[in-house]
Amino acid sequence: MKVKNLFTLFAFSSALILNACQKQDAEPDPEIETTFNMSEDQAVSESLNDDANVVFFESAVNANLYRTTQPVQTTNSLSCATVTVTPQNSFPKTIVIDFGAGCTSADGITRKGKINIVLSDYVHNNGSTAVITFDNYYTLGYKVEGTITWTNTSTPNEISWSRQVSNGKVTVPLSGYYWLHEGIKYVTQTAGANTPLNLLDDVYSVTGNHTV
CB count in 10 Å sphere of residue 24: 7
- In the DSSP assignment, the letter for residue 200 is G
The mean pLDDT of the chain is 84
Instruction: Tell which residue, 74, 80, 120, has the closest CA to residue 97.
Output: 80
Question: In this structure, is residue 2 part of a structural domain?
Answer: no
Q: Which domain holds residue 82?
A: 9-211
End-to-end CA distance of the chain: 29
Question: In this structure, is residue 101 part of a structural domain?
Answer: yes
pTM of the model: 0.81
87 beta partners? none
Mean pLDDT across 101-107: 95
**Does the pLDDT of residue 193 top 90, yes or no?**
no
Question: In this structure, is residue 67 part of a structural domain?
Answer: yes
**Does the pLDDT of residue 61 top 80, yes or no?**
yes
Pick the range with the lowest mean pLDDT from 103-107, 179-183, 194-198: 194-198
Q: What is the pLDDT of residue 12?
A: 39
**Does the pLDDT of residue 52 top 90, yes or no?**
yes
Q: Confidence band (pLDDT; 50, 70, 90) for 180?
A: very high
Question: In this structure, is residue 180 part of a structural domain?
Answer: yes
Q: What is the pLDDT of residues 106-155, one digit of tens each?
A: 999 999 999 999 999 999 999 999 999 999 999 999 999 999 999 999 99
Query: Count of H helices and E strands in the chain?
Result: 2, 9
- 3-state DSSP of 78-114: CCCCEEEEECCCCCCEEEEEECCCCEECCCCCEEEEE
Question: In this structure, is residue 4 part of a structural domain?
Answer: no
Residue 34 vs residue 121, higher pLDDT: 121
* Amino acid of residue 137: Y
Q: What is the pLDDT of residue 91?
A: 98
- Where are the extended beta strands (E) located within 99-177? 103-104, 110-119, 129-139, 142-152, 159-171
Q: Could you give the 3-state DSSP secondary structure of residue 171?
A: strand
Given a contact cutoff of 8 angstroms between Cβ atoms, the answer to whether 118 and 148 are in contact is no
**Does the pLDDT of residue 55 top 80, yes or no?**
yes
What CA–CA distance (Å, rounded) separates 178 from 184? 20
Mean pLDDT across 60-74: 80
Q: Is the peptide bond before 87 cis (omega within 30 degrees of 0)?
A: yes
Question: In this structure, is residue 74 part of a structural domain?
Answer: yes
Q: What is the pLDDT of residues 7-25, one digit of tens each?
A: 343 333 434 444 444 444 4
Question: In this structure, is residue 203 part of a structural domain?
Answer: yes
**Domain count across the chain:** 1
What CA–CA distance (Å, rounded) separates 134 from 31? 33
